[in-house]
Amino acid sequence: MSHNLLKGKKGIIFGALNEQSLAWQTALKCHEEGAEIVLTNAPIALRMGEINKLAETINAPIIGADVTKMEDLEALIDQSMAHFGGKIDFILHSVGMSMNIRKGNPYTHLNHEWELKTLDISAVSFHRVLQVAYEKDALNEWASVVALTYIAAQRVFPDYNEMADAKSLLESIARSFGYHYGIKNKVRVNTISQSPTRTTAGSGVKGFDGFINFSEAMSPLGNASAEAFAGYCVTLFSDLTRYVTMQNLYHDGGYSSTGVTQPVVDKMASE
Give the annotated binding-site residues: 15, 66-67, 95, 167
Q: Residue length, the chain? A: 271
By CB under 6 A, tell whether 80 contacts ligand NAI: no
Please say which residue, 212 or 244, places its beta carbon nearer to ligand NAI: 212
Please enumerate, by residue number, every residue annotated as part of a binding site for NAD(+): 15, 66-67, 95, 167
Q: Which of residues 17-56 bind ligand NAI (CB under 6 A)?
A: 17, 21-23, 41-42, 45
By CB under 6 A, tell whether 223 contacts ligand NAI: no
CA distance 124 to 173: 8
**In the complex, what is the shortest distance from the CB of residue 23 to ligand NAI, in angstroms, rounded to a whole number?**
6
Q: Which of 135, 200, 220, 227: binder of ligand NAI (CB under 6 A)?
A: 200
Concerning whether 250 is annotated as a catalytic residue, the answer is no
Q: Which of 118, 161, 194, 215: binder of ligand NAI (CB under 6 A)?
A: 194
**In the complex, what is the shortest distance from the CB of residue 35 to ligand NAI, in angstroms, rounded to a whole number?**
19
CA distance 222 to 122: 26
By CB under 6 A, tell whether 96 contacts ligand NAI: yes
Please say which residue, 17 or 185, places its beta carbon nearer to ligand NAI: 17
By CB under 6 A, tell whether 234 contacts ligand NAI: no
17 CB burial (10 A radius; 0-12, 13-18, 19+): buried
Please say which residue, 185 or 248, places its beta carbon nearer to ligand NAI: 248
Binding mask 106-145 for ligand NAI (x = CB under 6 A): ---------------x------------------------
**In the complex, what is the shortest distance from the CB of residue 239 to ligand NAI, in angstroms, rounded to a whole number?**
25
**In the complex, what is the shortest distance from the CB of residue 20 to ligand NAI, in angstroms, rounded to a whole number?**
6
Contacts of 203 (CB under 8 A, 6+ apart): none
Catalytic annotation, pick one of 107, 134, 150, 243: 150
**In the complex, what is the shortest distance from the CB of residue 237 to ligand NAI, in angstroms, rounded to a whole number?**
16
Catalytic annotation, pick one of 160, 181, 250, 255: 160
CA distance 179 to 185: 10
Per DSSP, the residues of the chain read: ----TTTT-EEEEE---STTSHHHHHHHHHHHTT-EEEEE--HHHHHH-THHHHHHHHT--B----TT-HHHHHHHHHHHHHHHTS-EEEEEE-----HHHHTT--GGG--HHHHHHHHIIIIIHHHHHHHHHHHTT-EEEEEEEEEEE-GGGTS--GGGTTHHHHHHHHHHHHHHHHHHHHHHH--EEEEEEEPP--SHHHHTSTTHHHHHHHHHHT-TT-PPPHHHHHHHHHHHHSGGGTT--S-EEEESTTGGG-S--HHHHHHHHT-
Concerning whether 255 is annotated as a catalytic residue, the answer is no
Which residues are part of the catalytic machinery? 150, 160
Q: Which residues bind ligand NAI (CB under 6 A)?
A: 15, 17, 21-23, 41-42, 45, 66-68, 94-97, 121, 148-150, 194, 196-197, 199-202
